[in-house]
Amino acid sequence: MNPASRAFRTTAASLLKLAPVFVSSGLVSSEGSLKAALRTPEILARYRFTTARELEQAYNACPQRTALIDDDGELTYAQLRNNSRTLAKYLVSLGLDEIHLGIMARNGRGIIEPLAAKGYAGASVYLLNIGSSAEQLLGCITRDGINVLVVDEEFVGRVPQDLKGLKVIVGHREKEPHPRTAEFITVDDVLNQWAHTPEARAAKLPLLPKHGPVVLMSSGTTGTPKGVVRPEPVIPGVVASLLGHVPWHANMRLQLTASIFHTWGWGCLNIALAGRSTIVTRRIFDPEQVIKDIETYKLEGMFSSPIFLKHLIDVGGDTSSLKFILSSGHSLSPWLVEAMQERFGPILANLYGSTEISAAAIAGPEDLAEDPTVSGHICNGTDLVIIGDDGHPAPRGEVGRIFCANSTTLSGYTDPSIPMPTYGHMVMIGDRGYLDERNRLHVMGRADDMIIVGGENVFPGSVEDVLESMPGIADMFATGVEDDDDFERIAVWIVRSDDDAGKKLTAKDIQDWVLDKIAAHSVPRDVHFVDSLPRNATGKVVRATLL
């Protein structure tokens, strides 16, 4: 038996052992035809649990089901699969020894099709932060050896000039063409013209693709973003943790507002496709459009982040079709949890994790209703420990640094010189927290954000939590700054709301509100009123711009 055949049979056998677990749970769709069932071993062995695998199997099971509704219209699973395979054939036709595919795109087919093409062609993929500057983009391309770049026309102006060895493909097109688009081939050109050429007919996709890693970029605001190397899972064991906490099952109509170029959106996309769901997503978040889509398509689930959710609370409309809202990417404040429950009912759940670790803990609607500060139960297949300041595991209830690991934990950074703090086989997640008596995780905030004021530990996030419910505040940010007497102190930046409460708001009002709710050492001594906060593409405040 040759090595390729042996690898095929071994992989298929191991994957088939687990596949019935996910099918019977209802999260991953059972295959809807004899053809799909017969091809399951082959497709699992060839594509594992990748975007390509989900589109290929859906093509056999439910080809005419609507897979995607985006700003460019609707695509069935057959159309999405065929477009992705055509793009993959074009990548293969380039004759590269290895395909290092960069994607810089907003939500929609412009990022989903190249993600699937990665699996079909056998490539490594680099999901680039759409907030990256031209300099940061150049840094990622040169550091990581990206030789093919799929980029929304919106970002064409940031593409390096005359960079040798880089093939650029323009994805989503704008109404007004960018002058530089004429320099490059577009995805539309590939699908509508190149696909009918002899070169296209001669291009062959690999029988067993290489399955290079998925590299996600950190949301760093200065310097070149860190490239976090994540393997696409052979077996998505962490997914099983969702089943007992979120009513997520196959064949649902789902809304994806989380950014696909980030780990949270990328993960949700693949699981939704595995369930043969219909996915509704938009390039740019618009709260009114979100509610309109829920009403129009009777959407049953939403994947989002707190930075988006807070804008939905005051938008009217019928959202009774929603069975769950799953949030991740940022911490949920108690105020936001309560406001979401009041607006949408007790359907909000939270997944805690990071770009490096993926999912670490899950809190269902019942958990958040009982305690809005809880981050949740440790995910299946995840090892997690709290390490105290003495370097040893902390007792239950004691705050320390969070270390964890599972099957989707990063294997390293594309820059090997970047340190990766570990405790045994577990990786430091970058936050501080504790485990309660029920072994549920509570996250206090970023380890690097914690400051000491007058000998007391203060997490700026706790100040934001109490200010979030204060009348007159539309947006806010808290952080630590240097202090001549106490080494550090809390400072806040406030965006006033456009109402009477906002117009009357003073610095003393802010300080009194905080003093009334938490300890005196957490009261901000610096209160800055600003028109808006500088946020990057994932919604995080660019701290360096404020200081």
pLDDT tens across 257-287, in order?
Answer: 999 998 889 988 988 998 899 999 999 999 9
Q: Which of 446, 476, 498 is the last residue of a domain?
A: 446
pLDDT at 98 over 80: yes
On whether both 299 and 419 belong to a single domain, the answer is: yes
Residue 10 lies inside a defined structural domain of this protein: no
Confidence class for position 50, pLDDT limits 50, 70, 90: confident
User: How much is the pLDDT for 454?
Assistant: 63
pLDDT at 326 over 60: yes
User: How much is the pLDDT for 14?
Assistant: 38
On whether both 494 and 540 belong to a single domain, the answer is: yes
Collapsing DSSP to helix, strand or coil, 192 comes out as: helix
On whether both 330 and 455 belong to a single domain, the answer is: no
User: Considering the chain, what is the average pLDDT of its residues?
Assistant: 87
CATH number of the domain residue 269 falls in: 3.40.50.12780
Q: Which of 176, 198, 230 is the last residue of a domain?
A: 230
Residue 11 lies inside a defined structural domain of this protein: no
CA trace torsion 327, 360, 338, 268 (10° rounding): 10
> Please, are residues 243 and 91 in contact by the beta-carbon 8 Å criterion?
no
User: How much is the pLDDT for 11?
Assistant: 39
Confidence class for position 63, pLDDT limits 50, 70, 90: very high
Q: List, as one string, the DSSP characters of 10-36.
A: HHHHHHHHHHHHHHHHTSSPPP-SHHH
On whether both 431 and 464 belong to a single domain, the answer is: no
C-alpha 114/C-alpha 85 separation (Å) is: 9
> Please, are residues 339 and 318 in contact by the beta-carbon 8 Å criterion?
no
User: How much is the pLDDT for 221?
Assistant: 52
On whether both 251 and 393 belong to a single domain, the answer is: yes
User: How much is the pLDDT for 20?
Assistant: 42
Nearest residue to 461 (alpha-carbon basis) of 384, 341, 375, 364: 375
pLDDT at 16 over 50: no
User: How much is the pLDDT for 331?
Assistant: 78
Torsional class of 511: left (φ above 0), alpha (ψ -120 to 50), beta (otherwise) = alpha
On whether both 50 and 67 belong to a single domain, the answer is: yes
Residue that is written with structure tokens 């405040």 in the block: 541
What is the model's pTM? 0.83
On whether both 491 and 442 belong to a single domain, the answer is: no
Quote the domain boundaries for residue 473. Answer: 451-546
C-alpha 232/C-alpha 49 separation (Å) is: 7
On whether both 422 and 514 belong to a single domain, the answer is: no
Nearest residue to 66 (alpha-carbon basis) of 247, 246, 254: 254
Q: Which of 399, 430, 446 is the last residue of a domain?
A: 446
Number of domains in the chain: 3
Residue 14 lies inside a defined structural domain of this protein: no
C-alpha 320/C-alpha 298 separation (Å) is: 8
Which of 391-405, 408-422, 480-494 has the least mean pLDDT? Answer: 480-494
